[in-house]
Amino acid sequence: MPSIRGVKYPHSILIEGSADAHSQLYSVIESFKDTHLLYKHKDDDRTLSDIISHALCTQYCWYTQEIVLENKTKKCACKAELTIEKTLESIQKNLERTSRKWKQLSEKELQTEIKTEWGQIMSKELALFQSIEHMMYHVGEICYIAGLGAFYKGTLG
């Protein structure tokens, strides 16, 4: 079984994928100025800071806490940060707390099937993969919107 730093599959793939998504988001955001966080495209009512907060909050609070851990009562205090420094800290914090929770799940628990509120039946492992995919979708969206604003010229990868 493949492993990263003593963590075996499927945890290794999940944690590595999440770390990569957070790293991609971090590398995009660190090139911004504080004022860029308030940018929003004319056809969207969310700022880039709102999108970042949504991506992080959805992974930890919704996918991890609510869907996988089935902790329906936990309220999440996610907020859109207004400085690059605070945003980068929130990305790092999200990665750390997400990884910590994921490592606590047994392999058997990851294979447990759940039914989502929209009726999809999937394993908890798949739900966590979807959280990574969701984050990467928003990383791409942030790059696209920032490119439309003419202040991001980088690429992913």
**Domain at 29, CATH number:** 1.20.120.450
Q: What is the largest CA-CA distance in the chain?
A: 49
User: How many CB atoms sit inside 10 A of residue 115's CB?
Assistant: 9
- Say if 142 falls within a structural domain: yes
Q: 154 in a domain, yes or no?
A: no
Identify the helix (H) or strand (E) that includes residue 140: helix 124-148
Q: According to the model, what pLDDT value does residue 78 have?
A: 86
As beta bridge partners, residue 3 has 8
Count of the separate structural domains present in the chain:
1
Q: Along the 157 residues of the chain, how does pLDDT read in single tens digits? A: 333 455 566 778 899 999 999 999 999 999 999 999 999 999 999 999 999 999 999 999 999 999 999 998 767 878 999 999 999 999 999 999 999 999 999 999 999 999 988 899 999 999 999 999 999 999 999 999 998 888 877 766 5
Judge whether 143 lies within some domain: yes
Domain presence at residue 11: yes
157 found inside a domain:
no
Q: What pLDDT score does 1 carry? A: 30
> Is position 33 within any domain?
yes
- In this prediction, residue 25 carries a pLDDT of 97
The dihedral over CA atoms of 46, 55, 57, 16, expressed in degrees to the nearest 10, equals -170
Compute φ and ψ for 44, nearest 5 degrees: -130, 145
Within a domain: 46: yes
> Which segments within 50-134 are labelled E, that is strand?
113-115, 121-123
What range defines the domain where residue 128 resides? 3-148
Give a yes or no: residue 144 inside a domain.
Answer: yes
DSSP output for 34-51 = GGGGG---TT-S--HHHH
pLDDT for position 5 = 56
* Bridge partners for 7 per DSSP: 4
Q: Check: pTM over 0.85? Answer yes or no.
A: yes
Is residue 11 a contact partner of residue 125, using CB atoms and an 8 Å limit?
no
